[in-house]
Structure formats: C-alpha cells, structure tokens
Amino acid sequence: MWMETLKAYIQNQSQWMIHADADGRGFFLREEQESFIRKKQMYTDRNAFIVNNQTNGSVLRTTESEDKVQVDYLVHYSFLIKHGFDFYVEEISQERRATFQDGDMKSDEPVNVEGNYRELPKIERENESIAPTKGGYDRLAAVRYAERWWNTFNPAYKSFENDCTNYISQSLHAGGIPMTSQSIKSKGWWMRNNSWSYSWSVANAMRWYLSGSKSSLQAQEKSAAHLLLPGDVICYDFDGDGHYQHTTIVVAKDPSGEPLVNAHTTNSRMRYWGYEDSTAYTKRIQYKFFHIL
C-alpha cells in the first residue's frame, strides 16, 4: 500500500515542477515547495524555463515496526531546460526518507540537507611558495571527473555523509593538481592512508585555504561568477555569517555566460550556480568565486 502512495507522491511532485497550476501539496516540507518556487522564478529571470521533467525513484531499504514503515529511497530528477535557443539537461539526485502509517505518508525529507554541515576546524597555510605544476591545470580532465562521479562515489577515495568538498578536491586532483606532502590534518591539501586534511574535505576549510594558499593548489578570487571557467570553484555561505557550508565545481557555462555547476551531498549536475533553489538558501547568502591557477 505504501508503495502506491510513494509512487503517486513522486508523480505529483514531477507534475507540479512543470505546471504552475498543478497541485503542489505533494511537497510535505514547506521549505522544499518554497525552494522550487524560487527555482521557477530563477529560470524566468534568466529567460529560461523547464520544458520537461523526468522523475524516477528507487527504494533503498525499508524498516517496519508495528503499523509504521520507514522507507529510504533515491529520487532522480532530470530537467530539460530551454534557455533562449539552446537546450541542456539539469539533474539532481537525492536520498530521502519517508514514513508511512497504515499506508498513509506521514513525513518525507532529505537524508542529508544542504547547508547543515558547519565543522569549523582551525587550519594553517604553508609558508613556502611552491612552483606551479608542469603542464598546468587540466580543466577538461577536472570536468570529466566531475561528470563521471557526480552521482556516485569513487571507491578509490573515502566518501563522507557531507561529501561536497571531498568531491571537489577529487576533481581538482584529477585535473593534475598534486596533493601536498603534509600529514597533519590542519596543514596542506591531501588525502592518503585513510586520513585527510581539513582543506580537502571541509567546505569552510577549503574556502580559507583557497583564499591564500601558496601550495600546489592556488586560486585567484574573482568578483563575479561569470568570470569563472569550467574547472573553477564556488564556495557558499548560505547564512551570510562568514562560515562556508558548501562547495561546487563549474562544469559548463549557460548561453548567458553564467556557470553551471556539479556538486555532491544533494548530488547535482549542470545546476545554476546561484543555488536559489536550495532549501538552505537565504537572502543573506554570500559566495566566493575561485579561479584555479
């Protein structure tokens, strides 16, 4: 019984995403309904709109107790976007948890919420300058990696519940940027021997590191998103309090020259960089735009 309810719920979401006059009550969380209203407005402001949407779900695990059933499931959205005369596909994949009682859905929410990770470790930058890597940063290789692993985890690396910055670090490393030789978590940029630096895996630490690193990973801060290139990095402070909670990598530019990004945690591909469609978004949001050198 709960399976039919879940199918109808996902179908209702999909219809509401396309048709403004469709029943929006399929969204249990008010924050999610508001975030998609912002998403629609964001597309309108960009002279773009969602032409079609495919939504698929798959059950990961179920837990039953008395008359209640908890269902962990994966939902995947594919949006066909028309922007001017061009088209592209945006994708979002998210693990969610729904609870049912006597076949009726009582709750539904993401397992990992964007912007809820606030570890603020103290880190140090290296004092010595390191010469750039011979051959430079291979942006195409970084983007290829980000495209290959946007919706799954590379088993060669440890994965995290909040995996956004780890995924970006892997993509930068795939672009030819070598890890530093440090073995202290508060120094350098590295992952090895089942250990890792804070700058490799923590959003706020990577933001701080990119702002002044003289190691193998160096960046130049830009004043606006449109100045970035594929392979560059954007950091997000959703609350505007100076603590950065999310990291994305630019994988393409839209017809207006604005970045489209990939990310983990809520696995996203070709998502508009502004993240107005995130439940973590606030009007106080701050960004850091880093051009990787």
Tens digits of residue pLDDT in 227-281: 999 999 999 999 999 999 999 999 999 999 999 999 999 999 999 999 999 999 9
**What is the spatial distance between Cα 42 and Cα 256, in angstroms, rounded to a whole number?**
13
123-145 mean pLDDT: 78
Q: What percent of the chain has pLDDT over 90?
A: 70
129 compared with 201, residue with greater pLDDT: 201
Q: How many CA atoms lie within 13 A of 3 on its CB side?
A: 5
pLDDT of residue 25: 53
pLDDT of residue 274: 97
pLDDT of residue 122: 75
Please, which contacts does 14-20 make with residues 24 or more away whose CB atoms are closer than 8 Å?
14/53, 14/54, 14/55, 14/77, 17/50, 17/53, 17/55, 17/77, 17/79, 18/50, 18/52, 18/53
Q: Where are the alpha helices (DSSP H) in the chain?
A: 2-18, 30-45, 139-148, 164-174, 198-201, 203-210
Assess contact for 195 and 183: CB atoms under 8 A. yes
Mean pLDDT of the chain: 90
Q: Is 2 left (phi over 0), alpha (psi -120 to 50) or beta?
A: alpha
Burial 99-137, CB ≥16 within 10 A → b, else e: bbeeeebeebebebbbbebeeeeebeebeeeeeeeeeeb
- Cα–Cα distance list, 287 to 23, 32, 161, 174, 204 (Å): 34, 22, 23, 24, 12
144 compared with 102, residue with greater pLDDT: 144
130-150 mean pLDDT: 87
- pLDDT tier, 13 (very low <50, low <70, confident <90, very high otherwise): confident
- pLDDT tier, 128 (very low <50, low <70, confident <90, very high otherwise): low
- CB count within 10 Å of CB 247 equals 27
Q: Is the pLDDT of residue 110 over 70?
A: yes
pLDDT of residue 16: 74
72-81 mean pLDDT: 95
Q: Is the pLDDT of residue 121 over 90?
A: no
140 compared with 102, residue with greater pLDDT: 140
162-186 mean pLDDT: 95
- pLDDT tier, 115 (very low <50, low <70, confident <90, very high otherwise): confident
Nearest to residue 70, comparing CAs of 31, 109, 32? 109
How far, rounded to the nearest angstrom, does the alpha carbon of residue 156 sit from its chain's CA centroid?
Answer: 20
- pLDDT tier, 37 (very low <50, low <70, confident <90, very high otherwise): confident
pLDDT of residue 119: 73
Strand-pairing partners, residue 62, are 71
Tokens matching residue 152:
């799954």
- pLDDT tier, 21 (very low <50, low <70, confident <90, very high otherwise): low
Residue corresponding to tokens 């993240």: 275
Residues ≥6 apart with Cβ < 8 Å to 163: 153, 264, 265
Tokens matching residue 36:
């998609």
173-182 mean pLDDT: 95
Q: Is the pLDDT of residue 58 over 60?
A: yes
178-207 mean pLDDT: 94
